[in-house]
Structure 1
Amino acid sequence: MIHIDRSGFEPDIEWINKTDALTRQLINAPDAPTRNQIIDDNQVIWGELKDFLLSISNEKCWYSEAKDKYNHLHVDHFRPKKIALGIDKKDKGGYWWLAFTWTNYRVCGGAGNVRKRDKFAVRNNKSNDPNTPIEDELVYFLDPCEEEDVLKITFNPKGEVTPIKTTGWDFERADYTIKGLNLNFKKLKEARQDVWVEISTLVSETQNLMDLNDANPSVFRRGQIKEKLKQIKDLVKPSAEFSATVKACLVSTGLPWASKIAA
């Protein structure tokens, strides 16, 4: 998971006007069945935004960073539309008024979206209507759109996602997210493990060349080092699959130059 920066991105005005009108219908609806029918009748709306959302994340799942290892990519409602299951697995009330709000959308691989479904636990200040600010909620799911949230998980050589901490609220959120989004899905772990091996090999080869060049400097060897560093930097780019895993591997080496690239 890496931070998804949505600043500077906005759907086209026609889509915004259409969804604003639907949101007004939801707010003015007399009861929940009517609201649900409006949502059901307009399910194509968020699908229309899929390509736009993918353009923000370099075609990657916003949660897993996978492009095709996490099954078909879906448009996920971060806060569920009709039902929101708490820690006790009981419905605490969905976020119907956000059904057509694009900032509530995330791109998610099918394996994660199916697991997530209606899960959305809130520790405090649960919002149940458009007049109660969602900004006051203490939610369990880590949000890729929140820069601080992505810092609460890391990766290991087995390709597994793990919480940074072992206790406390940060641990609870990370653990809930990893399990609730199926982030240790078998194919994901295997793909991240392959990336870890690839970057570890590159780091080892680079360090060996650096040591040799320090003992016996050569222009040719300096060129080799430059090429290895470029390969590593390409794997760290936001457009690369599993770039967060690459960064975790670089930091784990303890080498100052590798950590600097990961920063």
Structure 2
Amino acid sequence: MIYVRRDPTLIPENVLRVAERVQAKLEALPPEKRSEFIEKKSHVWRSFARYLAKMSYGKCWYSESDCVQSFKDVDHYRPKKQAKRSDAEADEGYPWLAFSWDNFRLAAQRSNQINRDEDTEESVGKGAWFPLMQGSKLATWDDRCVAEERPVLLDPARITDVRLIEVTATGKMGPTRLCLGEYERTRVSTTVKLLGLDLPGLVSARLRAMRFVQEVVELVEKNKTAAELGEAASAFVSTHLRADSQLDMLQRLTLPDQPFASAARAQLKLMGYEDLCLRLEQAGLAA
């Protein structure tokens, strides 16, 4: 999962105005008419896809997948019609957020739609899932207290949520050291399962990115060892095997516009090169 800074300046004014007009019509409808109306207006949220993609450099906000050969959905973080809270519980969800772009997330279809994990045969994909922690307040049409809810699913638009999850040495996703309690750990494990963040293809892609980083770091270390052998070796390394270009490349791999940058950052941390991970303010880029 990657943090994505939402930028309304990337969305044309006319696209925002259309969503506002449709929202006004939804607000005026009786309850029994809302679901049908929302379905008929699906083009409204789909029109945001290209602008959401700009905010994440074309990558899925959940999986960081940048595969150009598959479509990406405009997911409603809080489901627009039905919200599945558990295997036995579901309700009408959050219809008042159907056309709210603050509720939109760009999602690869395997994270957004129900499918199967090839290794475990388990069902994965967000679908209508939106569980809340036990005891959480529940927002409704008449009481839209979403800020008081305690969602289980991590939100890529919240930096505090993204800080709880990271790529591990195995290429799978796991909790960071900032997960200080059972609540946070439950959020991470449930998010990984429901969004299919450890599907085999994703794990393989992360491991490829991590292996490349490892190879470059090992080359830097070999060059450093060679340079320490004497003046002649040091001069050769300085002239022909410049470490600064290799270090620059490693830093570029940690930028948010790079494929699986979170895996590159994880590998650098594992190898003790955490200082090479560019912070967003250093990069001058949003994730």
Query: Do the structures match in fold with TM over 0.5?
Result: yes
SS at match of 1:148: helix
SS at match of 1:40: helix
Q: 1:219 to 1:44 in 2, by over 3 A?
A: farther
Q: Is the 8 Å Cα contact of residues 7 and 55 (structure 2) preserved in structure 1?
A: no
Greater shift in the superposed pair: 199-208 or 68-77: 68-77
In the TM superposition, what is the alpha-carbon distance from 1:248 to its structure 2 partner? 1.0
In the TM superposition, what is the alpha-carbon distance from 1:10 to its structure 2 partner? 4.8
| Aligned position for 2:3 | 3
Post-superposition Cα deviations, 1:101-158, rounded to whole Å, max 9, x if no partner, equal 1111101111111110100012211211264231111111111110111111122233
| Aligned position for 1:129 | 141
Q: 1:116 to 1:196 in 2, by over 3 A?
A: same
SS at match of 1:116: coil
Q: Match for 1:143: what amino acid?
A: D
Q: 1-side partners of 2:58 and 2:33: how far apart?
A: 35
1:196 matched to 2:220? The reply is no
Q: 1:252 to 1:3 in 2, by over 3 A?
A: same
| Aligned position for 2:35 | 36
Q: Match for 1:11: what amino acid?
A: I
Q: Match for 1:57: what amino acid?
A: S
1:261 matched to 2:279? The reply is no
| Aligned position for 2:248 | 230
Aligned identity (percent) is: 24
* Root mean square deviation, CA, Å: 2.0
| Aligned position for 1:150 | 162
Greater shift in the superposed pair: 202-211 or 236-245: 202-211
Q: 2-side partners of 1:62 and 1:92: how far apart?
A: 26
1:110-259 equivalences under 5 Å are 110-114=109-113, 115-123=125-133, 124-129=136-141, 131-164=143-176, 165=179, 168-216=182-230, 218-222=234-238, 224-253=242-271, 255=272, 258-259=273-274
Q: 1-side partners of 2:228 and 2:145: how far apart?
A: 59
| Aligned position for 1:13 | 13
Aligned length: 259
Q: Which runs of 5+ in 1 are unaligned?
A: none
Q: 2-side partners of 1:244 and 1:70: how far apart?
A: 21
Q: 1-side partners of 2:225 and 2:132: how far apart?
A: 52
Q: 1-side partners of 2:267 and 2:236: how far apart?
A: 27
Greater shift in the superposed pair: 74-83 or 160-169: 160-169
Q: 1-side partners of 2:192 and 2:275: how far apart?
A: 27
Q: Which runs of 5+ in 2 are unaligned?
A: 114-124, 280-287
In the TM superposition, what is the alpha-carbon distance from 1:228 to its structure 2 partner? 1.2
Q: 1:35 to 1:236 in 2, by over 3 A?
A: same
SS at match of 2:90: coil
Q: Match for 2:21: what amino acid?
A: A
Q: Is the 8 Å Cα contact of residues 169 and 266 (structure 2) preserved in structure 1?
A: no
Q: 2-side partners of 1:110 and 1:43: how far apart?
A: 16
